[in-house]
Amino acid sequence: MERIEHRACFGGWQEVYRHRSHTLDCDMQFAIYLPPQAQHGPVPVLYWLSGLTCTEQNFIQKAGAQRYAAEHGIAIVCPDTSPRGEGVADAEGYDLGIGAGFYVNATQAPWVAHYRMHDYVVEELPALVEENFPVTTSRAISGHSMGGHGALTLALRNPGRYRSVSVFAPIVAPSRVPWGQKAFAAYLGEDRGTWAQYDACALLASASERLPLLVDQGGDDEFLDGQLRPQLLQAAAEAAGHPLRLRMQPGHDHSYYFIASFIGEHIAHHAAALRA
């Protein structure tokens, strides 16, 4: 691991590291915020998954989360959104390929060689973080848009792995919207039966853990009706008897202004679960 950024922030440190990922077979970067409490002992970790076109930088620069993480004594780890580098497959457009890993394990060529973001986020990255930083194995997960899809599906697919989950403007039913259909057809193939393993609405029907879902959605989000469709998650949760708190936030769009407005409440939500 190579540290490439080290900045004082709210009594703690905002850092960025580069490492070789065996899961993705390429070099990867991730950001980690270590709150001041980490100087005195291990702290729990919130994993943040960003959306389309993002890197590990967007959240740490725009969300204003470090203030709340320092208040509650929580580390925040932000991985990149896809593999990158020479030899990594890419495609035209912003919604497939580099910057658009969708947090799945690809099974189709040419993506299968590198695009295994599910295993990277769930297994390799936490193992690396827990070995090298003053953190506990108490984990929470959150994300935005494509990263909201990732946070929901990773939590639902891996019961017991996370203590809490919350999301902003998630893609809740990727099998039924253009962003997800394009990505899933490329990464997973045309058999829609295989898509359900990465579709939050489908996963709710068989979820063995009743981890409460906190979802914030902007009422003026430009992608609300075409790509996000939170009402599908609400219907799926009601059918499965799964706890869901869906908060429609009037006037808010899809941007980091929306995230910054409510990130403090989300971190407090995770802090309560991580302390329990």
- Among candidate residues 96, 98, 135, 103, the one with its CA nearest the CA of residue 117: 103
Cα separation, 52 vs 55, whole angstroms: 9
Residue 139, φ and ψ in degrees, nearest 5: -125, 145
Structural element, H or E, at residue 260 = helix 256-275
How many CA atoms, within 13 angstroms, populate the side-chain half-sphere of residue 246?
18
Residue numbers annotated as active site: 145, 221, 254
- 275's CB contacts (< 8 A; 6+ apart) are none
| Spatial separation of the C-alpha atoms in residues 66 and 82, rounded to whole Å | 23
CB-CB contact of 270 with 46 (8 Å): yes
